[in-house]
């Protein structure tokens, strides 16, 4: 029997109890008026910037300053969950020790709250700690998170010190402005991230864009300078174009080169003269057919600091365009309590002023032909329909939805061209509403949470993460229920880094690579991208820019075909990979047929014929690369007359 593999980046974590400071106090803050503050201050060391993913000995030191800490006092320090798990075993990375200024005894206990924070709790025993004393924890060989951060203001996962002087749950927080935080910066350059057009015609002059990344896929620091070359993969020592990187470029630039006349596909190598920085573009498909559409890649689902992410909306889109090198994007910030700050004001819905800032950024970055944006948001709650959904508009969003019911949502959308897209449908008891094809035409197949294609996928670590139990509905179950929906993917990352980000994200239940939506469209405009989504000319990838063209009887993915029983319909599949292709499958009504297996190629064209037997059938194509990145076409439906 074939052994099943569940990719689980959290493998090896030691189970800890849930921390009541969070569950009984902090998580309740948005619904109560009282925010109790403790005296004193907390210092974090080292005071110098920390480099992403690197290992340090760190200390948190609490000075009471105003009052003595009586025996029984509990001082709790929170540590971001993407950091090394604190441990009491001296031989392990993350070993924690505690001490007091007096040298008197203290006890240490360890806990956590879900995917947000580790907690180290120090209990004062036997004697008081004087107000001019301190309580300190040392965490040895602690690897920090893999993404930059210098702001810890969101209430869900800020670094805090919480003091319980009674020892009985009377919690009080040291104010944020009296708690020093680390500054976490990107690492030096490790590689070039390269993007070229997915489709080109022979002889075209195309733009090849590149950004400079560190080893965690962040924009590298310091940025490189000097000459950068682009070469054809068949002749890597013959530059076709070059550009000189200056300091102000921040490691991001582009080159222009001609498309070869005598090939069906090509890739571009980008490197510097030292040859210590390289990058290779995904496959560009050379196609001069008049009806061939371009393929554009984007991330429609990630967060800014206006809900529970990092970075401003302007910084968010700058990353999407200049670092991730995507073609389009949207901000899907929570229209909910996640928009609250560490010390308030707490809100159940995003304020209008915050959403106006998002809309301003959308319009500032919407440049047809270069990079385009859609306006939208994530709706956390619809009464009687558990789960989240993202709402996007073809034009200007009329303001945030302020209702609760599905009927109110449809009334709010009346008169607007919009899409309502449920995400991570397979988990969290998600109940989709897909009966209104005027708005409900797409589901999110994949994000950093997991794959929702089928239950039991390797890309869901529910085996060790209880809140990822597959109690929702899979994409294939949705199709089997008769819903005619397309597929897209996104990141849902909370680093403010759409399209390309370190993993795990700021929340450690976001453990996989961020996905991308691919849209087949004639040109890069907001309207063309929306129309491609609306007409189901779109597909999902796990983040790799895989070119995928699936046609049945000449009709593109997303189409509906009516024919006679027994008809034989020709199909065409073209795949251009970002790596070598492991296999290509066609899934029909839940049954997989492998059409192609690995032979070392990154470009494959397939043709064949399907005999129509079922009264109703849906089919989509799935691509798997050797690096485990995947793509899923939107389905094509065949109905027998």
Give the pLDDT confidence score for residue 613 in this predicted structure: 86
Low-confidence winner among 118-127, 435-444, 453-462, 514-523 (lowest mean pLDDT):
453-462
pLDDT confidence bin for 587, thresholds 50/70/90? very high
Close Cβ partners of 66 (under 8 Å, ≥ 6 residues apart): 39, 40, 131
| Residue range 244-290, pLDDT digits in tens | 999 999 999 999 999 988 899 999 999 999 999 999 999 999 998 88
**What is the percent of the chain with per-residue pLDDT over 70, rounded to a whole number?**
99
DSSP H or E run through 463? none
| Continuous H helices in 99-254 | none
When pLDDT is averaged across residues 329-348 and rounded to a whole number, the result is 88
Low-confidence winner among 91-105, 378-392, 464-478, 544-558 (lowest mean pLDDT):
464-478
Distance CA(229)–CA(429), nearest Å, equals 50
Q: What share of the chain is helix, strand, coil (3-state, %, to 5)?
A: 10, 35, 50
Give the pLDDT confidence score for residue 461 in this predicted structure: 75
| Residue range 511-569, pLDDT digits in tens | 899 999 999 999 999 999 999 999 999 999 999 999 999 999 999 999 999 999 999 99
**Per the structure block, which two tokens stand in for 220?**
């590298």
Q: Token pair 């924690």 is at which residue?
A: 96
**Per the structure block, which two tokens stand in for 427?**
């988990």
pLDDT confidence bin for 156, thresholds 50/70/90? confident
When pLDDT is averaged across residues 333-355 and rounded to a whole number, the result is 88
| Residue range 485-514, pLDDT digits in tens | 999 999 999 999 999 999 988 888 888 999
When pLDDT is averaged across residues 627-633 and rounded to a whole number, the result is 97
**Beta strands 328-330 and 372-379, pairing class:** parallel
- Asked if the model's pLDDT at residue 1 lies above 60, the reply is no
Q: CA angle, 285 as apex, 284 and 291 as ends, to 5°? A: 135
CB atoms within 10 A of CB 4: 8
Give the pLDDT confidence score for residue 467 in this predicted structure: 74
pLDDT confidence bin for 463, thresholds 50/70/90? low
Strand residues in 468-544 grouped as ranges (E): 486-489, 516-521, 538-541
Nearest Cα to Cα of residue 590 among 615, 617, 561, 569: 617
When pLDDT is averaged across residues 315-344 and rounded to a whole number, the result is 94
Give the pLDDT confidence score for residue 2 in this predicted structure: 63
CB atoms within 10 A of CB 264: 14
Give the pLDDT confidence score for residue 464 in this predicted structure: 65
Close Cβ partners of 14 (under 8 Å, ≥ 6 residues apart): 85, 87
Distance CA(212)–CA(236), nearest Å, equals 20
Q: Token pair 């901000």 is at which residue?
A: 331
Longest dimension (CA), the chain: 87
- Asked if the model's pLDDT at residue 81 lies above 60, the reply is yes
From the centroid of its chain, how far is CA 255? Answer: 28
Give the pLDDT confidence score for residue 338 in this predicted structure: 82
Distance CA(418)–CA(628), nearest Å, equals 33
Low-confidence winner among 292-296, 384-388, 504-508 (lowest mean pLDDT):
504-508
| Residue range 164-176, pLDDT digits in tens | 998 888 999 999 9
DSSP state letter for 341: B
Distance CA(421)–CA(438), nearest Å, equals 12
If one compares 9 and 489, the residue with the highest pLDDT of the two is: 489
- Asked if the model's pLDDT at residue 328 lies above 80, the reply is yes
CB atoms within 10 A of CB 482: 11
Give the pLDDT confidence score for residue 462 in this predicted structure: 75
Distance CA(342)–CA(161), nearest Å, equals 12
- Asked if the model's pLDDT at residue 577 lies above 60, the reply is yes
- Check: CB of residue 529 under 8 Å from CB of residue 535: no
């Amino acid at each position: 029997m074939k052994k099943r593999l569940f990719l689980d980046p959290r493998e090896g974590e030691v189970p800890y109890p849930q921390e009541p400071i969070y569950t009984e106090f902090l998580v309740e803050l948005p619904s109560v008026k009282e925010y109790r503050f403790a005296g004193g201050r907390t210092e974090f060391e080292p005071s110098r910037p920390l480099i992403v993913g690197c290992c340090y000995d760190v200390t948190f030191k609490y000075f009471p300053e105003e009052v003595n800490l009586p025996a029984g006092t509990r001082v709790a320090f929170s540590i971001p969950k993407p950091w090394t798990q604190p441990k009491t075993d001296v031989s392990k990375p993350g070993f924690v020790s505690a001490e007091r200024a007096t040298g008197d005894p203290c006890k240490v206990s360890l806990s956590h709250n879900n995917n947000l924070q580790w907690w180290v709790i120090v209990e004062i025993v036997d004697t008081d700690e004087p107000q001019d004393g301190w309580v300190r924890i040392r965490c040895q060989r602690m690897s920090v998170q893999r993404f930059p951060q210098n702001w810890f203001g969101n209430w869900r996962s800020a670094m805090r010190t919480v003091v319980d002087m009674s020892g009985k749950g009377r919690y009080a927080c040291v104010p944020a402005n009296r708690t020093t935080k680390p500054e976490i910066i990107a690492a030096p350059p490790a590689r070039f991230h390269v993007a070229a057009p997915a489709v080109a015609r022979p002889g075209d002059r195309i733009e090849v864009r590149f950004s400079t990344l560190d080893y965690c896929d962040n924009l590298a620091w310091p940025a490189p300078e000097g000459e950068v070359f682009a070469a054809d993969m068949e002749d890597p020592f013959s530059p076709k174009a070059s550009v000189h990187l200056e300091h102000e470029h921040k490691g991001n630039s582009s080159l222009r080169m001609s498309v070869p006349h005598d090939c069906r596909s090509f890739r571009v190598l980008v490197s510097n003269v030292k040859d210590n920085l390289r990058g290779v573009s995904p496959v560009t498909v050379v196609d001069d057919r008049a009806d061939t559409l371009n393929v554009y890649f984007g991330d429609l689902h990630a967060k800014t600091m206006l809900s529970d992410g990092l970075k401003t909306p302007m910084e968010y889109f700058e990353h999407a365009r200049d670092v991730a090198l995507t073609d389009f994007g949207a901000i899907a910030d929570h229209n909910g309590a996640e928009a609250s700050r560490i010390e308030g004001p707490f809100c159940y819905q995003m304020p209008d002023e915050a959403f106006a800032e998002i809309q301003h950024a959308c319009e500032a970055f919407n440049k047809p032909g270069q990079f385009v944006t859609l306006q939208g948001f994530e709706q956390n709650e619809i009464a009687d329909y558990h789960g989240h959904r993202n709402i996007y508009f073809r034009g200007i969003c009329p303001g945030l939805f302020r209702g609760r019911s599905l009927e109110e949502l449809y009334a709010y959308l009346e008169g607007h061209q919009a899409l309502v897209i449920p995400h991570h449908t397979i988990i969290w008891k998600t109940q989709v509403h897909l009966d209104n094809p005027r708005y409900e035409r797409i589901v999110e197949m994949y994000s950093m949470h997991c794959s929702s294609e089928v239950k039991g996928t390797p890309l869901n670590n529910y085996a060790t993460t209880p809140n990822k139990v597959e109690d929702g509905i899979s994409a294939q179950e949705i199709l089997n229920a008769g819903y005619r929906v397309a597929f897209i993917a996104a990141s849902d990352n909370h680093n403010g880094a759409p399209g390309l980000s370190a993993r795990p994200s700021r929340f450690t239940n976001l453990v996989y690579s961020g996905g991308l939506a691919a849209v087949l469209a004639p040109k890069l405009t907001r309207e063309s991208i929306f129309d491609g989504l609306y007409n189901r000319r779109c597909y999902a990838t796990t983040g790799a820019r895989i070119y995928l063209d699936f046609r049945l009887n000449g009709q593109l993915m997303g189409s509906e075909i009516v024919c006679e029983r027994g008809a034989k319909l020709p199909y065409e599949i073209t795949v251009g990979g970002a790596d070598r292709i492991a296999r290509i499958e066609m899934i029909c009504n839940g049954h997989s047929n492998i059409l192609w297996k690995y032979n070392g190629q990154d470009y494959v064209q397939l043709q064949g014929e399907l005999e129509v037997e079922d009264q109703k059938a849906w089919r989509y194509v799935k691509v798997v690369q050797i690096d485990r990145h995947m793509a899923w076409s939107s389905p094509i439906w065949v109905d027998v007359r």
